[in-house]
Amino acid sequence: MSRRDALRSGARGWARRHAYSLLSSIGALVRSPVATGMTVGVLAIAMSLPLGLYVALDNLERMNTDLERLESISVFLEIDVDAEAARRMASSLASAPDVLTVDPIGPEDGMRELAGATGLDDLELGEVPLPWVLEVTPAREGDVERLANRLRSLDDIDQVIVDLAWLRRLDSLLSVFARLVELLAVLFGLAVLFVIANTIRAEIQARHEEIEVMALVGATPAWIRRPFLYAGLWMGLLGGACAWLLVQGGLWLLAGPVRELGEAYGTPATLQAPPAGLIGVLVAGAGTLGILGAAIAVSRQLHRINP
């Protein structure tokens, strides 16, 4: 027999062995649908929690990016600056390269906004002297502080207010949330590993006598081990796919309320589904954890059966 024929024969034998183990593992899972369904359900719930938190974090970061684009600077002019001077200053600032728009707000408009914010009418507020205010929007993201410092150095400007504290607090919360998602992903990954290992251990104990007979008739440890490894792979893959379906169902249920919330605030709001690449990593990672958990359980149990 030539070397090529030997390689071809070896490849066919390898394919037959793995095909038999693959079909054997599927048959074992199908023969116990309740136990398989419960295991896959537990795995799906465990993996859907970090995946759902990641999707929520991703959507919050998208919303935070949209909010940062709406950053503006409130420039309060001196109280004695009249309307003509205020509009002239607004026109001058609007021509600057680092300024996108300038919206001048007169004392009358400011009074109406103050009355609407406090719920009081003009008589209850009395004669409150209000200055002209220029709402300045930067042309580029990240130029807010630089532009605010330049505006403070100009004449006839009483105060420059940049309310970025709440955005910084939101960024800090998102950072904590991201670290929490990473921690939960590790913990639930270990949970997936332990669940599959325990399931395979119970399956090996249930087939204890069958494994002993196979070992007596000459079955190698690899032959005995292979169907259990495939069973762990299938449970991991099914758990990852069901976790994705659970998250997709949650997004579908939340789509309507989130859209209504966005309409209430006058801005479109939609939930973004997890990208296909992330789903692929989730399912492949779950399958890998399934193989690893099955390998741990099989090695320990086979050593006990046939040390």
> Which domains are assigned to the chain?
13-67+168-305 (no CATH), 72-163 (3.30.70.3040)
Q: What is the mean pLDDT of the chain?
A: 78
pLDDT-derived band at 211 (thresholds 50, 70, 90) equals confident
CB 89 within 8 A of CB 156: yes
pLDDT of the residue at 6? 60
- Is pLDDT at 139 greater than 90 in this prediction? no
Residue 228: partners with Cβ closer than 8 Å, 6 or more residues away: 25, 200, 203, 204, 294, 297, 298
The residues with which 102 forms a beta bridge, in sequence order, are 136
- Cα–Cα dist 47/49, whole Å: 5
DSSP state of 74: E
- If one compares 8 and 68, the residue with the highest pLDDT of the two is 8
Does residue 262 sit in helix, strand or coil? helix
The residues with which 160 forms a beta bridge, in sequence order, are 75
Q: How many Cα neighbours within 13 Å face the side chain of 5?
A: 2
CB 243 within 8 A of CB 51: yes
pLDDT-derived band at 117 (thresholds 50, 70, 90) equals very low
- If one compares 250 and 162, the residue with the highest pLDDT of the two is 250
- Is pLDDT at 62 greater than 80 in this prediction? no
Radius of gyration, alpha carbons of the chain = 33
pLDDT-derived band at 41 (thresholds 50, 70, 90) equals very high
- Cα–Cα dist 84/107, whole Å: 13
Smallest CA-to-CA distance from 98 within 154, 140, 135 is with 140
pLDDT of the residue at 124? 45
Which of 34-48, 167-181, 183-197 shows the lowest mean pLDDT across its residues?
167-181
249 sits in the region (left: phi over 0; alpha: psi -120 to 50; else beta) called alpha
- Is pLDDT at 3 greater than 60 in this prediction? yes
- Cα–Cα dist 121/103, whole Å: 24
**Which helix (DSSP H) or strand (DSSP E) does residue 252 occupy?**
helix 221-264
